Chain A
């Protein structure tokens, strides 16, 4: 992503952040550094700056740290400020954490996605904290006329060996006049007090007392409520509507049309506006709407899936080619083929889509939302609704789950259009039915797999052909199906297994359903085919699936470390009780690297999950407990996607409507997950939020094969009847 910066003058900035009087403001200058932040000071009398101010220390001693990553449950409300606080030598209870809302001066990284937050900020933000600390140290040493080496920073104070001390607030004025250190010295990780430690998250007490404010909790003066009807059949046109009955519902004030915009799709919608939400819902029930389905009313999953199977006979576009797959495969002594299928699934965060938007005179717009992408909202909505620079304010609240759903602004578009039409603040809330039926969804992928082994059971040729609709095509009008599409072949050519001959392919399937990223994106379906098929190859080679994998990893790699760690923590070589089976899988992709060993036992006609061991490789970890929570949760989400209904279509619409028929794994269905973190340093930091998903289903299904001899090649499956 390209970094951009704009000119902000100091007065504007001070007003914007609501501080008065001189203070120390330290941030990153993003200008001309190729995206690498340069620490800069905004406190002096400099007229204009390209700067991302991340920390402000006021004379009063108040310290504010700005968090640019929306909190969606992944713990960035702790992990991002901790990067600054660690180097600044303050604890998180000494600072106020403020969530940024896409303001230009906070730079282009204002989003939560791709498991990027911590790793993209790790060094830059530490430099910000370290620079501020060095300036405070220098200010103190000058004031006391002592060598700076005799001073140290601790708990928001500078201390001198003589016992003298001064709070940061007392020193900021002097510090703000100093040069920003060019290369501030970062702490030795051995001295870390916050990073790498299980520090309590500051948002958690709020979330245990009902005090955390989510998007849906916002109320502003003079606000009305809206519920929006969309056509259940995807791709329909609005012909007409009769709102006479709706308007008779007490509390209903208006009925207006709006447009749901998602990716390349635009869907007509009819909104009922009322002075309370319940009335809006009742009014909506009374609407009579005529839609033109345009032939889409016959669309169904069964026919579409058969179409995917037929398409698998096409060669497809080459995603990756090494060695000579075709010749090797043809001549190989041992070969196998298999076809894998996965479902469409929903994100279903428990907080439904909602937004409060207020259009004010002079083309001013304010938005309050649970969103993963405030930066994108500021950029794209200013353009779409002609809001002049600086007139659009976005307030990011705690997100009641993201999982990729809140990377998309369809519900925000609706609220903005409605407030613009009626000139009053609007609170729009989708019902659970709206969320379940309208998507957007994770697409299904089907996979045609081929593998070949030498006579002594070594993998010599491998092919993963993906047949699926495309995420990219869902975004773009001018999608070219003849070009490679990385969104649909994610990770399949990046696994570390040393197989000399590999040719991976993608066959594009046309679609009119809005498909989007879901937590861990396409890796969540591709890993299932990929790692179950590796297992099939191991069986064909008559080798232990763990040894077979490690045998293809002769060079040192993080993947090898993950598998070895899994082997160790799961006691892989220890014989299991009768009726049990174990399975292993790993997957490396853009977000990071994780793996599982799952153990199951036969239970009646199905299986019971007995044990789940997870290993996630991060390189460097900021909050181990938060990472563990992410992996625990990812396993639950992956189990839901593997064994619950998923989303299906019939008569042009989504069959599932709410949690009763689009079920999630419940409390009593989830065994504990034993999570282990690899953090052995290294040059890259990997993500935490997503890597726990992709390898779960294949590890589970490989375990089921080991226990029962039944190879599961289609998700979802019934765990009580395998």
Chain B
């Protein structure tokens, strides 16, 4: 066990955990932020996507010991009032079905728009293919990313 001071959504948390524990379980079970989801545990589904200094990572496959002083952003930190352009577009186009994958989808989409404010379909394909959706919301995600690009 070791004590880590990690920064999530601009707040500092102290946790006493195994160094090999994936960041996902630290966020969910120790910090208590449950918007970040567990789907596969092997970086295949993207449900656990968070940002590490703005870059999307799969927190299920990222040990807490590797976080260091970097800033973590989870779905709860995207906006205070569900009003990021991606979230607004998601609501306007009613993207989620069960919603379970959507925290991860939104984290990937937010990072995409930051890097490419006017993404092409090919850009979207690349950015989003690591996020599985069993409900099959892909076509709405594509439309919503284009819509969000207009809203920004």
* A interface, CB within 8 angstroms of B: 71-75, 198, 200-201, 203-214, 216-217, 219, 225, 250, 276-279, 282, 348-352, 398-403, 429, 431-432, 625-626, 629-630, 632-637, 658-660, 664-668, 670, 672-673
Contact = CB atoms under 8 A, between A and B. Distances in A.
B134 A204 contact: no
B42 A432 contact: yes
A637 B136 contact: yes
A216 B38 contact: yes
Nearest to A427: B29
Interface string B18-44: 100110010011101111111111101
B75 A210 contact: yes
Interface in B83-110: 87, 90-91, 94-103, 106
Given A214-B100, A217-B34, A208 B94 contact: no
B72 interface: no
A278 B21 contact: yes
A210 B33 contact: yes
B152 interface: no
A641 to B, nearest CB: 12
Contact of A209 (B38, B87, B100): B87
Interface string B109-134: 00000000000000011101101111
Nearest to B107: A210
B78 A209 contact: yes
Contacts of A212: 99
Given A217-B34, A350-B100, A670 B139 contact: yes
Interface of B: 1, 17-18, 21-22, 25, 28-30, 32-42, 44-45, 47, 74-76, 78-79, 82, 87, 90-91, 94-103, 106, 124-126, 128-129, 131-142
Contacts of B126: 668
Contacts of A672: 139, 142
Nearest to B98: A73
Contacts of A667: 124-125, 128-129, 131, 133, 138, 141-142
A203 B99 CA distance: 9
B135 A401 contact: yes
Given A349-B134, A401-B134, A667-B138, 16 more contacts: A75-B97, A204-B99, A208-B90, A278-B18, A278-B29, A348-B134, A349-B100, A400-B100, A400-B101, A432-B39, A629-B97, A658-B42, A658-B44, A659-B45, A667-B129, A667-B131
Contact of A659 (B32, B44, B90, B99): B44
Contacts of B140: 629, 632
Contacts of A403: 134
Contacts of A665: 136
Which residue, A351, A626, A667, has most C-beta atoms of chain B within 10 A?
Answer: A667
Given A659-B44, A659-B45, A664-B132, A209 B76 contact: yes
In order of increasing CB-CB distance, the 6 nearest A-B pairs are A210-B35, A636-B136, A400-B100, A207-B99, A73-B98, A633-B136
Contacts of B44: 658-660
A210 B48 CA distance: 11
B41 A670 contact: no
Contacts of A204: 90-91, 94-96, 99
Contacts of A634: 136
A252 to B, nearest CB: 12
Nearest to B21: A278
Contacts of B102: 207-208
| Interface class of chain A by DSSP | loop
B87 A208 contact: yes
| Interface class of chain B by DSSP | loop
Contacts of B39: 350-352, 432, 659
A210 B45 contact: no
A73 B99 contact: yes
A72 B136 CA distance: 13
A214 B100 CA distance: 8
A203 B90 CA distance: 12
Contacts of B135: 73, 401, 633, 636
B36 A210 contact: yes
A234 to B, nearest CB: 22
A224 to B, nearest CB: 11
A278 B22 contact: yes
B125 A668 contact: yes
Given A636-B136, A659-B44, A660-B42, A400 B129 contact: no
A276 to B, nearest CB: 5
Contacts of B38: 216, 352, 429
Contact of B103 (A73, A210, A401, A668): A210
Given A219-B32, A668-B125, A74 B97 contact: yes
25 contacts: A198-B94, A200-B94, A205-B91, A208-B90, A209-B78, A210-B74, A210-B75, A210-B103, A216-B37, A217-B28, A276-B17, A276-B29, A349-B134, A350-B47, A350-B134, A400-B37, A429-B38, A431-B41, A630-B97, A632-B137, A636-B136, A636-B138, A637-B134, A668-B129, A672-B142
A667 B46 CA distance: 12
Which residue, B28, B36, B96, has most C-beta atoms of chain A within 10 A?
Answer: B96
